Structure 1
């Protein structure tokens, strides 16, 4: 099932033309698995934000409602499973100049219906995250009425096989679109991809990859950051008990950043506390599950300015 308004990598690469503080961490040795929650309210130029993880569907809904009532907008959400039960990690911020809507726990058909309905009302997709629950794909997504970059053109697809994603990636790149968001996930034991492309308003070089093992992702990360790229999106996902990664890097200026992947819940909490205490804010969190009950996290923090 494809969502589209106009109409990714182990292989897909678009080299169109960070300063890293630490490289992406290799997956730590397995340790005790715990379900914890993260909560932080900090400010970046007066913009409060909040982050939580390890939430059940009911806890996520309660937290969502609470933050929405306080004027926070959901800016990022990742779904994953714990003993075949859905869990969520999410980010909110209080700067909300545009109308927005968000949904989670949607089947492919439900997501398509929501997509069509919201687009018809003038919303555009800002974020979509696929995740596996009981061998079937579910989706969490965010739409808003903000103007798109460049000429406002955008495109979104979901349910793509690796080859379909590659084809869509190549086609959009050839038409001048930049990959703005990508989510890898498992559906029926096969890798699938959801992505959003936009017409950029700048000329920053960028590159994207998907279908990378942890070691391949680390190698790509090292290569691109050594060339002056910074990670802007990372999606971790498990297929057949193996963790894979899809990511986007670009050469836009950054005051500083940190990226990690393969973190246990405890490891993620430790990294979160460390970098937030040093003035960083979480910009991306991706959660995925190995062996049914081993939650793992990949994340990017950026320096508050």
Structure 2
């Protein structure tokens, strides 16, 4: 049961308030807009029980502050806020509820400005995020030269991911919308607009979240007639408005609205698949605690001893309808991809097709380097991170594996790069240090070693891995993790990350895409030796029983390798007691300052393995 109206006067809104509240309705959306001297209201009401609540409208700044002070002293917290007018002549409306759990923050009259400047709307959003709060309701008012905001942030215990976009024109808001709804999460349906406020001059302040209300439709830039037509259409389809905000005066008024089948969030559910191991149930509990603290939807944990699988479990903490994670699912591995490259190179050493001192660039046929030292880089130096490249440290800080679009554009290729394109580009740059003289982590060194594998064998890198390493050991759950979403299959975990960037595959496009689909600058099919391989945790455990987790050679007790890239956090460990274990996690977005952290998870799992007999 819901009631909705728009374009009503203050008096009409008060009459509606009296009637609907008496019938057990409560507001889920409230907007004041137009001329402060003749403000108009839009509201949506639902008939349901809930916490005690109060509301105010038609007050100026002083009146709102008085109302705020009075009711917050009684334990009420603002949940809906709205404002119209200039900074010095604004009208406010709000709804407060009693008994809100957790921390909260509310402000009005907030200016726009750089995130680093204390007290700006952008800075307060950052502060709220860092204090594990999320933007609940917002209004944008003022003038173009003196933009103001009214906002309330609530506790975010489940670490719902959210983004605020303070001020967009209709066109730029559409670009924001197009980018946000691509971000992967619940069933690949993207982040949803949870709140879209409109100023008198038709600027949009929007909030996008990765929580779930089921099917939804969003529209903006609507006249009153447009909104009514859309309302009728969506109501007939079984949806109702859960957020309606107006901006402008008279016939110049424009509306933004979000329609959904429900306004109450879908709750996440916990599940685990794979054969339970009762005496290792503490491992399940550790994974559950971590995933729920950080809003992680999918993960795996696997353990083997002396080459025999002892534990292979997959975990899902997600809304109903999210595909349940399976132990055989492939996750993006990030830098745990590198252990396959090291084993492939070692196999070429063993077959005498390569030597550790083979010089890389001459082997590839490159001549006339920008830095003569480049011709002295050996294969083993690449594996040891001593090839002269410092991707992220005190050197150039340039990591070509995450700059494949830039490289293609700089080289005027007119197409996506290959491994050899990236290698040639780097051959034209000065090294960060003399090869063999320093150890600096380098993703590119592994991509370059992958190009060497392809040159020596005449096959694609992953074909070499599959035929020479995986198939002989009956390891099946390893593959190149496709860059594009439409290339991914149902047995590949949804990689979730908040980042956006430009495509390294579609060089003509200026449309932002999610980092996990190439917006991070990397093409997985090119960077498969360094970051782009996918596998299950079980497959990683099988592999490190035979090959070093870190370094090239056979199983290396006491070695470990971790990986982190947009949409992936992984770890593989070989212990001295014959136990190999690994986890895969489908994100690297963590709640700030929350325990258990990723390090805490690793320590907890290690402690359990230290104190439990693995038979």
TM-score, L = length of structure 2: 0.39
Residues 220 and 49 of structure 1: is their aligned pair in 2 closer, same or farther, counting only changes over 3 Å?
same
Alignment match, 1:298: 256
User: Which residue, out of 62, 73, 93, partners 2:46?
Assistant: 93
Alignment match, 1:170: 126
> With CA pairs under 8 Å and 6+ residues apart, which has the higher RCO, 1 or 2?
1
**Which sections of structure 2, spanning at least 5 residues, go unmatched?**
114-119, 184-189, 264-615
Alignment match, 2:314: none
Matches within 5 A, 1:1-305: 48-81=1-34, 85-132=38-85, 136-148=89-101, 152-163=102-113, 164-186=120-142, 190-227=146-183, 228-238=190-200, 242-289=201-248, 293-304=251-262
The structural deviation recorded for 1:202 is 1.0
Given that 2:248 and 2:254 are in contact with CA atoms closer than 8 Å, whether structure 1 keeps it comes out as yes
The structural deviation recorded for 1:74 is 2.2
In 2, the alpha carbon distance for the partners of 1:278 and 1:215 equals 27
In 2, the alpha carbon distance for the partners of 1:212 and 1:162 equals 13
In 2, the alpha carbon distance for the partners of 1:83 and 1:180 equals 24
SS across alignment from 1:101: strand
In 1, the alpha carbon distance for the partners of 2:253 and 2:193 equals 22
Given that 1:279 and 1:304 are in contact with CA atoms closer than 8 Å, whether structure 2 keeps it comes out as no
Residues 187 and 110 of structure 1: is their aligned pair in 2 closer, same or farther, counting only changes over 3 Å?
farther
Residues 54 and 144 of structure 1: is their aligned pair in 2 closer, same or farther, counting only changes over 3 Å?
same
TM-score, L = length of structure 1: 0.78
Residues 134 and 224 of structure 1: is their aligned pair in 2 closer, same or farther, counting only changes over 3 Å?
closer
Q: Which has the higher helix share?
A: 2
Given that 2:112 and 2:122 are in contact with CA atoms closer than 8 Å, whether structure 1 keeps it comes out as yes
SS across alignment from 2:181: helix
The structural deviation recorded for 1:89 is 0.5
Given that 2:35 and 2:84 are in contact with CA atoms closer than 8 Å, whether structure 1 keeps it comes out as no
Number of aligned residues: 251
- Please report the RMSD computed on the Cα atoms of aligned residues, expressed in angstroms: 2.1
**Which sections of structure 1, spanning at least 5 residues, go unmatched?**
1-47
SS across alignment from 2:175: helix
Residues 299 and 52 of structure 1: is their aligned pair in 2 closer, same or farther, counting only changes over 3 Å?
same
SS across alignment from 2:14: helix
Report the structure number with the largest CA radius of gyration: 2
Given that 1:85 and 1:133 are in contact with CA atoms closer than 8 Å, whether structure 2 keeps it comes out as no
- Offset from partner CA, 1:137-182 (integer Å, 9 cap, x none): 110000011433xxx1111111001021122222222222211221
The structural deviation recorded for 1:246 is 0.7
The structural deviation recorded for 1:98 is 1.4
Alignment match, 1:36: none
Given that 2:191 and 2:209 are in contact with CA atoms closer than 8 Å, whether structure 1 keeps it comes out as yes
Given that 1:213 and 1:244 are in contact with CA atoms closer than 8 Å, whether structure 2 keeps it comes out as yes
In 1, the alpha carbon distance for the partners of 2:74 and 2:36 equals 37
In 2, the alpha carbon distance for the partners of 1:147 and 1:132 equals 29
Given that 2:4 and 2:44 are in contact with CA atoms closer than 8 Å, whether structure 1 keeps it comes out as yes
Given that 2:87 and 2:148 are in contact with CA atoms closer than 8 Å, whether structure 1 keeps it comes out as no
The structural deviation recorded for 1:215 is 0.9
Alignment match, 2:362: none
Q: Which has the higher strand share?
A: 1
The structural deviation recorded for 1:133 is 7.7
Given that 1:78 and 1:286 are in contact with CA atoms closer than 8 Å, whether structure 2 keeps it comes out as yes
In 2, the alpha carbon distance for the partners of 1:232 and 1:117 equals 29
The structural deviation recorded for 1:82 is 5.9
In 1, the alpha carbon distance for the partners of 2:36 and 2:84 equals 14
Given that 1:184 and 1:192 are in contact with CA atoms closer than 8 Å, whether structure 2 keeps it comes out as yes
